[in-house]
């Protein structure tokens, strides 16, 4: 093999998902969050795509909790689908829970043995398990390392296997390869740079023995949902751990979460969102359903008729066809110090909130949004946008949802000349600007202007899908790029 390339490699390692979706299997260990496996993978992948994608992703085995359970192949297939369209390749290493290693590898279009990336050789091992879960490296496996080393002199080798090789793990359960000393000898003699494993869910930091680095990736399925970013520069190795769970400081509240009442909802449910909010480390969650959607049919909502003919709201109410009161009743049962309830409201053609008078009070939070402008503003959209925004602020909303998304969504240029006037309006009315990445790219210049004017920033996932709840990594990164850290960040965050 002709191995050329630069002498650096960025790896991301994800281990131990233990996913159970459709398989007939109940994972007995709750900490494994088996039902979240595919979602954890999706969250990790989104994180990679939004920050810095690696040269290669390694899935370190135990993708499912029981590969032999009926239906496990569907779960593997669901995980494979999560990988579609990635901008980087994926290597899969079979684990003891995955069932037949050949099926696993063929599902993901991979194979054991040598993979070459950027001047590095990555060797995937399929170790053999006895009925007591003890894993052993075969003679062929041991020979592969020395064969590859002698046929590629000087090319750095990275060894990948599910079970830890080194250090020896003190436990009644056999974590290490049984013949790990032989494996270590082979790695050292062949000049292996780094050996990466999974399987030990708590993970183990990078440790050197006989010139070889050994690292164990923690399980993605257990809190705080960690994975590893590994950078190789020549033979230098650096390992950085990243967690999907939010840091404890600053405490963060998601001010914009939808429910199954939304016509545009995909998988979001109140119970699912609350579970995620806690697991991913939020200190509160606010359900803010589209008010217009709670009054009228999906047709009358999407056509904008509810804002052009606001008397429709009353008509739906009189005919007993609106869902506002059942929504409120259901949400009130969930209300706690952690869960708050609100609405995402819009402005009708007369400049009023699309909300009936008797429904206006008693919410913890109104989030105001411009999704569409009433037709009276079609001649001058910039002016209309200003007017509608001011109407929202006048009418008691405390957060302006996804400012300026209206323009981008409608294929219009964002009127940057309105950044300052909108920021001033927000300041005057004491309303926070929402940082929102749901089908949206917030403009740093607008938020810069908000900070200059002393406007607070609210964090919203605008979740219509469960995997969005509590995913504030992009938000925090955005604020850091604006120069906000620690207490400075706390200072500007809106707290309901
Ligand atoms: Zn495992
Ligand atoms: Zn929606
Ligand atoms: Zn929304």
Q: Break the chain into its structural domains and give their ranges.
A: 8-243, 253-492
Q: How many helices and strands, by DSSP H and E, does the chain display?
A: 17, 20
ipTM of the complex: 0.79
In this prediction, residue 5 carries a pLDDT of: 52
pLDDT, tens only, 435-476: 999 988 999 999 999 999 999 999 999 999 999 999 999 999
Distance 370 CA to ligand 2 centre (A): 12
Give residue 1's pLDDT band: very low, low, confident or very high (50, 70, 90): very low
* CA end-to-end distance (rounded Å), the chain: 60
Distance 96 CA to ligand 1 centre (A): 7
- Give the separation between CA 101 and CA 115, rounded to whole angstroms: 17
Interior/surface letters 133-159, b for 16+ CB within 10 angstroms, e for the rest: ebbbbeeebbebbeebbeebeebbbbb
Residue pair 464/258 in contact by the 8 Å Cβ criterion = yes
Average pLDDT (419-439) is: 97
Ligand nearest, relative to CA of residue 465: 2
- Give the separation between CA 121 and CA 124, rounded to whole angstroms: 10
Distance 77 CA to ligand 1 centre (A): 19
Average pLDDT (38-59) is: 94
In this prediction, residue 174 carries a pLDDT of: 95
Share above pLDDT 70 across residues of the chain, in percent, rounded to a whole number: 99
Ligand nearest, relative to CA of residue 346: 3
Give residue 2's pLDDT band: very low, low, confident or very high (50, 70, 90): very low
- Give the separation between CA 287 and CA 462, rounded to whole angstroms: 10
Residue pair 15/63 in contact by the 8 Å Cβ criterion = no
pLDDT surpassing 90 at residue 496: no
Distance 148 CA to ligand 1 centre (A): 29
Give residue 286's pLDDT band: very low, low, confident or very high (50, 70, 90): very high
In this prediction, residue 59 carries a pLDDT of: 98
DSSP code of 314? H
- Give the separation between CA 115 and CA 71, rounded to whole angstroms: 30
What pairing do the DSSP bridges indicate for beta strands 226-233 and 8-14?
Answer: antiparallel
Residue pair 245/252 in contact by the 8 Å Cβ criterion = no
Sheet holding 157-160, edge to edge: 113-117, 120-124, 157-160, 192-197, 212-216, 204-209
- Give the separation between CA 195 and CA 178, rounded to whole angstroms: 16
Give residue 4's pLDDT band: very low, low, confident or very high (50, 70, 90): very low
Quick one: fold of 253-492? TIM Barrel (3.20.20)
Ligand nearest, relative to CA of residue 29: 1
Residue pair 287/477 in contact by the 8 Å Cβ criterion = no
Q: Say whether domain 8-243 belongs to CATH 3.60.21.10.
A: yes
The region that residue 351 occupies, defined by phi over 0 for left and psi between -120 and 50 for alpha, beta otherwise, is left
Count Cβ atoms below 10 Å from residue 31 Cβ, excluding itself: 12
Interior/surface letters 241-253, b for 16+ CB within 10 angstroms, e for the rest: ebbbebeeebebb
Average pLDDT, the chain: 96
pLDDT, tens only, 196-248: 999 999 999 999 999 999 999 999 999 999 999 999 999 999 999 999 999 98
Average pLDDT (28-38) is: 95
Q: Do domains 8-243 and 253-492 have the same CATH topology?
A: no
pLDDT, tens only, 95-117: 999 999 999 999 999 999 999 99
Distance 34 CA to ligand 3 centre (A): 29
């Amino acid at each position: 093999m002709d191995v050329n390339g630069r002498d650096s490699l960025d790896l991301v390692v994800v281990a131990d998902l233990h996913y159970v979706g459709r398989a007939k299997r109940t994972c007995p260990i709750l900490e494994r969050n088996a039902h979240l496996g595919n979602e954890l993978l999706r969250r990790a992948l989104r994180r990679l795509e939004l920050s810095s994608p690696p040269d290669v992703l390694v899935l370190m085995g135990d993708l499912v909790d029981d590969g032999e359970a009926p239906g496990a192949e569907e779960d593997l297939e669901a995980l494979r689908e999560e990988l579609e369209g990635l901008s980087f390749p994926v290597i899969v290493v079979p684990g003891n829970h995955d069932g037949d290693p050949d099926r696993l590898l063929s599902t993901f279009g991979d194979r054991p043995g040598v993979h070459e990336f950027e001047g590095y050789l990555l060797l995937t091992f399929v170790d053999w398990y006895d009925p007591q879960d003890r894993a052993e490296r075969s003679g062929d496996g041991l020979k592969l390392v020395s064969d590859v080393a002698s046929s590629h002199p000087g090319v750095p080798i990275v060894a990948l296997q599910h079970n830890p090789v080194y250090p020896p793990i003190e436990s009644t359960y056999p974590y290490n390869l049984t013949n790990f000393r032989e494996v270590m000898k082979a790695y050292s003699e062949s000049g292996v740079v780094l050996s990466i494993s999974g399987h030990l869910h708590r993970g183990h930091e990078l440790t050197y023995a006989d010139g070889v680095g050994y690292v164990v990736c923690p399980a993605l399925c257990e809190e705080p949902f960690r994975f590893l970013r590994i950078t190789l520069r020549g033979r230098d190795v650096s390992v950085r751990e990243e967690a999907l769970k939010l840091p404890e400081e600053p405490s963060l509240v998601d001010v914009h979460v939808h429910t199954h009442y939304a016509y545009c909802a995909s998988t979001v449910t109140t119970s699912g969102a609350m579970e995620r909010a806690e697991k991913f480390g939020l200190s509160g969650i606010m359900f803010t359903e589209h008010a217009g959607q709670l009054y009228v049919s999906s047709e009358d909502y999407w056509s904008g008729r509810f804002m052009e003919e606001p008397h429709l709201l009353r008509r739906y109410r009189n005919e007993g066809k609106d869902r506002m009161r059942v929504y409120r009743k259901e949400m009130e049962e969930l209300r706690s110090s952690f869960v708050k309830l609100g609405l995402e409201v819009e402005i009708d053609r007369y400049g009023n909130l699309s909300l009936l008078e008797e429904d206006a009070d008693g919410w913890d939070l109104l989030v105001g949004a411009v999704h569409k402008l009433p037709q009276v503003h079609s001649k001058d959209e910039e002016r209309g946008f200003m007017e509608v925004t001011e109407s929202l602020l006048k009418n008691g909303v405390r957060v302006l949802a996804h400012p300026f998304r209206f323009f981008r969504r409608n294929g219009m240029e964002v009127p940057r000349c309105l950044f300052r006037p909108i920021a001033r309006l927000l300041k005057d009315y004491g309303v926070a600007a929402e940082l929102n990445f749901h089908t949206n790219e917030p403009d740093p210049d607008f938020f810069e202007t908000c900070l200059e004017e002393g406007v607070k920033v609210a964090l919203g996932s605008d979740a219509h899908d469960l995997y969005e709840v509590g995913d504030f990594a992009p938000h925090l990164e955005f604020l850091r790029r604006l120069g906000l850290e620690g207490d400075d960040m706390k200072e500007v965050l809106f707290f309901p």
